[in-house]
Amino acid sequence: GDSVTQMEGPVTLSEEAFLTINCTYTATGYPSLFWYVQYPGEGLQLLLKATKADDKGSNKGFEATYRKETTSFHLEKGSVQVSDSAVYFCALNGGSNYKLTFGKGTLLTVNP
């Protein structure tokens, strides 16, 4: 079945550092790929998505590129801020019923 493996962390960075959170997946067919973020005390929010190979999703300075050849969707940001501290989840949707398969989540803490 479908599965998502992401860097578990926790990850601790200083403000303005470069961020990479690795995510690889296993799926039949051609899934859509997502990054969700959960800020402290809030629900899950869609951060970005990509629906086909070589698509780049981007939002709030974060980017991720759908790499079919390496089955990866790594999240990157060039300069993190304290406000980026949150749990980040990589996810895929491989079927027609919109069900999401998630990774375990990566806790990011950004220190001033």
Partner 1 sequence: EAGVTQFPSHSVIEKGQTVTLRCDPISGHDNLYWYRRVMGKEIKFLLHFVKESKQDESGMPNNRFLAERTGGTYSTLKVQPAELEDSGVYFCASSQDAAETFFGQGTRLTVV
Query: Binding residues for partner 1, per CB under 8 A?
Result: 4, 32, 36, 41-46, 49, 89, 91, 93, 97-105
> How far apart (Å, rounded) are the C-alpha atoms in residues 23 and 72?
6
At closest approach, how far in Å is the CB of 31 from partner 1?
Answer: 11
At closest approach, how far in Å is the CB of 108 from partner 1?
Answer: 16
Instruction: Pick the closer one to partner 1 by CB: 68 or 104.
Output: 104
Instruction: Pick the closer one to partner 1 by CB: 49 or 77.
Output: 49
At closest approach, how far in Å is the CB of 92 from partner 1?
Answer: 12
63-97 core/surface letters (b: 16 or more CB in 10 A; e: else) = bbbbbeeebbbbbebeebeeebbbbbbbbbbbeee
Cβ proximity of 65 and 36 under 8 Å: no
At closest approach, how far in Å is the CB of 18 from partner 1?
Answer: 26
Cβ proximity of 31 and 25 under 8 Å: yes
Instruction: Pick the closer one to partner 1 by CB: 67 or 102.
Output: 102
